[in-house]
Structure 1
Amino acid sequence: MFSLLRRLRRDERGQALVIGAVAMLVLAVTVMASVSIGHGVYEKIKLQDAADAQAYSLAVKEARAYNFLAYTNRAMVVHYSAMLTFMSYVSHALYLDMTIGKIASVAQYIPGIGAVFAAVRQVIKAWKAAVEGVARVLIPLLSLLNLALWLAQEAMMLGTLKDLMLTASADTLRGTDPRAKPGASMSKGAPLDVLRGKPSLNAANMKNFLHVIDDGPSSRAESFDLLDPTGLTKRAHLLNKNKNKLSDPDMAKYRLLMGNLVNGARREWTAVGKNLLLIGRKWSLGITVPYLPGIKINKVADSQVKSFDEDFEDNRRDQLYASDDIRIQFTLSYNPLFPNKGWKDILNVNFRAAADNQGGFHQTYGNRKTNDHHQWMGLTPFFTADTSFVDPWHNHFSYPCNVTVLSKDMIPQGAGSPKQPFHLENLRGGDGFMTDSRSGKLDDASTNVRGGFLDITWALAGGNGKRAENFREQTGGMMALSVGRAIYHRPGDWQEEPNFFNPLWTARLAPAKTHWEEQALRNVIPGLHTAQSDFADALNY
């Protein structure tokens, strides 16, 4: 018996089995942990991809809306320029009719060549009637088209606001992570919160999209006008004769800005005319002999959009103004040493045409006006940007940011709940493994080492404490955040001020830290404030 025990004690066979069993247990736990962590990382990557896609998608919609404003504003400028050009044709035709046409009406009775002058007179009459007729039709038509473009701008902005309010697009999320859902701050009654004016990421996204607009809310405003978020009613005053006053800065900024843009877009012939003797809009003719009487004729032209004060001629407002004027001067003795001295005006003839909201007018021979020629409602509303570089580094140069917060339910909610990714929940179940021997439950007193347990269930995601429990309740154990931004950038030049006249808006993903959503981020990121304070303390230290 003792010899058998001594033999068994010296026998080394079977030791590898014990070591192998322990190693297999460790290997099995390691493999299961790796698979569980791999699933968690994979699900997190998918969720983050969905958040990035959603934030970028919203930024693309914002940039697309701003570029639409730029294209339509440019179209308005082209239309105003076309109206102004036709008014130039009208004033020039009036000049031809009242000068060359009058001369031809007398010269047509000269034998031999009278038929030529008669034909010239008829051509001028026909040209004047043609440009008059086209201008009467074209100016109201282009004015209505500009009005339609403005309404299209308002529709685009309201449509983009709707997309921002209904933050999570099912199509976008379905294509990246079907299990993703809007975070608590974005989904819990988000549209209703926006309508009630309650703070939420949706309301913040909408406000930051609107604050770039000149009549939109301030970037630091707590809320915005829910009944008129884009400032439509303010811009609509441009159509109201009684409210469209140049003394009102809200009206002056639109009238003067668009007027200057249109005047800057004029072609040379429209602006000042080109040199073409007798029949051109700009020419000069002089007959001078040193120390003898001399005469010179100057023909000048001008066309521009004018904005008038409300007290000018019963609030005539804006005009499409064009003029072709002749000035005849005479001197008794032309001095070549002082060529500009001694000249006296003997005749000033003004051929002018204008379209405005009181029927327009033609003007010849001094101040005599003939009314009711060309009705024009004036400049129509349009969107303009307010870049307001106040603390630009902090306010991101007025570029709009949108925040997307998504969550994913990783914790089973009972029988019949969707199957969750593989995890090691059985390690803390049933038979007392990792439980308090007295209560059969996880030892609450061991919170300081709970994170070290080989328990990779999502029931403990985020750590311990009330904030972590709230985090798990709101997110289901996993959350992702992303920020998109619409930026204005001309390639090679970052110094151009953002505006709604050049379609240079593009979309980018941006750092999550922005100046306006700190409170919202604190609500969805546990420990954000503490981390910021610790970082600040470390820098100060």
Structure 2
Amino acid sequence: MFRILRRLRRDERGQAMVLGVVVMLVLAVTIMTSVGIGQGVYEKIKLQDAADAQAYSLAVKEARAYNFLAYTNRAMIVHYSAMLTLMSYVSHAVYLDRTIGVAAKYLQYIPGIGAVFTAVKTAIAAWKVTVETVSRLLIPVITALNIALWLAQEAMLTGTLFDLYTTKGHGDVIGKTDPRAEVTEDMDSGQSFNNASVSSLFGNPSDINYSNAKNFLHVLDDGPFSSSPTMGMDPTGMLTRGKLVTGNKLSDPNMAKYRLLMGNLANGVRRPWTAEGQGPILIGRRWEFRLCVGIGELRIRKTADSQIKSFDENFENNRKDQLFASDDIRIEVRPTCFLFGWSDVFRLRFRAAADNRGGFHQEYGSNKTDDHHPWLGITPFITSDTSFVSPRQNHFGYPCNLIVLGKDMGAEKSGKKPVYELENLKNNAFMEGSGDGKYNTAENNDEAIRESYLDMTWEYVGGKQDGYAADFRQRTGGMMAMAVGRAIYHRPNAWKEEPNFFNPLWTARLAPVQTHWDADHLKWLVPAWEDSEWLIQGINY
């Protein structure tokens, strides 16, 4: 018996097994730790990709909406220029009919060449009828087309607003990038904006998507102010702009800004022939004839003009806007040919206009005849009113959208966990108490750090075991990602150009998360944000 015990005591077989068990335990823990860390990194990357994809996707929608406004506004300007050209043809045709046409009426009786003047008179009369008929038909059609473009602008705004604010508007960008990602609850109100209705955007200023929608609209001239607690009953300003179709009073500053802006833009793109006229003597829109006979000089000047004019509502019984065109003749004389000034001898005006009272042909003095050119006036359109007060703080007038996503990593669940999560070691704590208690401090206990205590689950994600950490785990599921998308106006080599809705130069970018629009949300999400606010105040962008 004692011999056997002595042999067993001296026997060294089996030592490797004991060491192997210990090493295998350490190796298993190391592998599972690596797998857990790798899986966490992988899930975080996917979640951040989903947040970035959604933020960029919404920024692309905003940029596309703004570019659509620019293209449609440009189309409206082209249409106004076309209407001015039509009215120029009308005034010029009236001029030809009342001058060359009248002369040909009498010259047609000259033997031999009378047939030529008869043909001229007939051609001018036919041309006058043609341009008047075409103008009467096309001007109302083009005006209706401009109204249709305005309605398309409003539809684009409403659709983009829907995309920014509602669940369906998110599309499937998040789900395709990370199927496990979820749009988190509002960090302040606790209300889930994932299922919010469109009607709630009128009175829920605490919602992240609410601020996204308001950031998109506040760039509009009639959009909500960025400091406004709500967006009101007309968030896109459509009802305000719609008054142009009916009210259209120049004394109303909201109406005057549209009429004057679009009128100036349309006047600025006129062709030279439309704007001031050009052409050969007698039949052109602008020419000059001089004759000096020693004792005096005769000058006949033909001038032309076509433009959009805006009148006060009290002018001639509220005539409002006009598509105005004129072809005028002035005969002047002066003693000698060089020494004295000119004196008017005769003036003849050939003018046409289209307005909301039916238009006119004004031929002599103040007489207006032939009221058959109706024009509604400047139709509504959307313009911008970017603010450059504290430009870095206000993003240079560029809208931002903040996306906050979470993912259920089991932080608040006690059910089935992945095999690599070593929750059982924490629960069993089979080595707990074997140390000397040196590290069992209050601070370590708050951080869930204890001797012989191993927990590879997400139960303690978020840091300290306080109300904030528990709330964070409950709302996010243990993992969170944020991203900010921004629509940026950029003309190459001209960054200082103010953003506008007349040049399609809007693009989408991802922006730093440090955005003042949602500072309250960020202070909750990142406590260090508020702690360091004194340092970064004034340089956030």
Q: TM-score if structure 2 supplies the norm length?
A: 0.91
* 1:133 alignment partner in structure 2: 133
**Per-residue deviation, 1:420:** 5.4
In the alignment, which residue of structure 1 is the partner of 2:371?
372
**How do 1:521-532 residues align onto structure 2 when only pairs under 5 Å count?**
521-523=522-524, 525-532=525-532
Q: How does 1:38-437 map to 2 (within 5 A)?
A: 38-166=38-166, 169-185=170-186, 187=193, 189-191=195-197, 193-225=200-232, 227-240=233-246, 243-289=247-293, 291-335=294-338, 338=339, 341-411=340-410, 422-429=420-427, 431-433=428-430
CA drift of 1:19 comes to 3.0
Once the two structures are TM-superposed, the CA of residue 21 in structure 1 deviates from its matched residue by 2.5
The size of the alignment, in residue pairs, is 522
Q: Deviation per CA, 1:9-59, whole angstroms, max 9, x where unpaired?
A: 666554444333322211110100000111111111111110001111100
Quickly say closer, same or farther: Cα 1:533–1:76, change in 2 above 3 A: closer
- 3-state SS in 2 of match to 1:483: strand
CA distance in 1, matches of 2:416, 2:346: 94
Per-residue CA distance 1:472-523 (angstroms, 9 max, x = gap): 1111111111000001001221011100011111100001111121112233
Alpha-carbon deviation of 1:143?
0.3
Q: In the TM superposition, what whole-angstrom CA distance separates every residue of 1:342-365 from its partner, at most 9, and x where no partner exists? A: 432111001000000111111112
Distance 1:424 1:496 in 2: 58
Q: How many angstroms apart in 1 are the aligned matches of 2:2 and 2:301?
A: 139
Mark the CA change 1:398 to 1:436 in structure 2 (over 3 Å): closer, same or farther: farther
SS in structure 2 opposite 1:392?
coil
Q: Does the 8 A contact of 2:164 with 2:170 survive in 1? A: no
1:489 match: 490
Gap change, CA 1:237 and 1:93, over 3 Å in 2: same
* Alignment-mate amino acid for residue 297 of structure 1: I
Which stretches in structure 2 are left out of the alignment for 5+ residues?
Answer: 187-191, 435-439
Paired residue type of 1:305: I
CA distance in 1, matches of 2:207, 2:129: 62
Q: Distance in 2 between matches of 1:253 and 1:61?
A: 28
Q: Is the 8 A contact 1:95 1:324 kept in 2?
A: yes
What letter matches 1:111 in structure 2? P
For residue 383 of structure 1, give the secondary structure of its aligned residue in structure 2.
coil
Q: Deviations over 1:348-404 (max 9, x none)?
A: 001000000111111112221115120000000000000121111110011000011
Further displaced range: 369-378 or 504-513: 369-378
The two structures have a TM-score, normalised by structure 1, of 0.91
Evaluate the alpha carbon distance shift between residue 414 and residue 133 of structure 1 in structure 2; reply closer, same or farther with a 3 A threshold: same
Per-residue CA deviation, residues 49-74 of structure 1 (Å, 9 max, x unaligned), is: 10001111100111111111001000
Classify the secondary structure of the residue corresponding to 1:322: strand
Work out whether residues 308 and 318 of structure 1, in 8 Å CA contact, stay in contact via their aligned partners in 2: yes
In structure 2, distance between residues paired with 1:179 and 1:420:
15
Shifted more, 450-459 versus 183-192: the winner is 183-192
Letter aligned with residue 224 of structure 2: P
CA contact (8 A) 1:306 1:321 kept: yes
Match of 2:437 in 1: none
Percent of residue pairs bearing the same amino acid type: 59
Residues in 2 aligned to 1:283 and 1:421: alpha-carbon distance in whole angstroms: 93
Residue 448 (structure 2) pairs with residue 450 (structure 1) = yes
Cα-to-partner distance string for 1:297-344 (whole Å, 9 max, x where unaligned): 100000000111122112211100000000111234323xx3xx2432
Q: Distance in 1 between matches of 2:57 and 2:447?
A: 42
Residues 428 and 434, structure 1, Cα contact 8 Å, conserved in 2: no
| 1:511 is the counterpart of 2:509 | no
- Equivalent position amino acid for 1:214 in 2: D
Give, in whole Å, the separation in 2 of the partners of 1:255 and 1:421: 70
Contact 1:295 1:329 in 2 (8 A): yes
Amino acid at match of 1:427: L
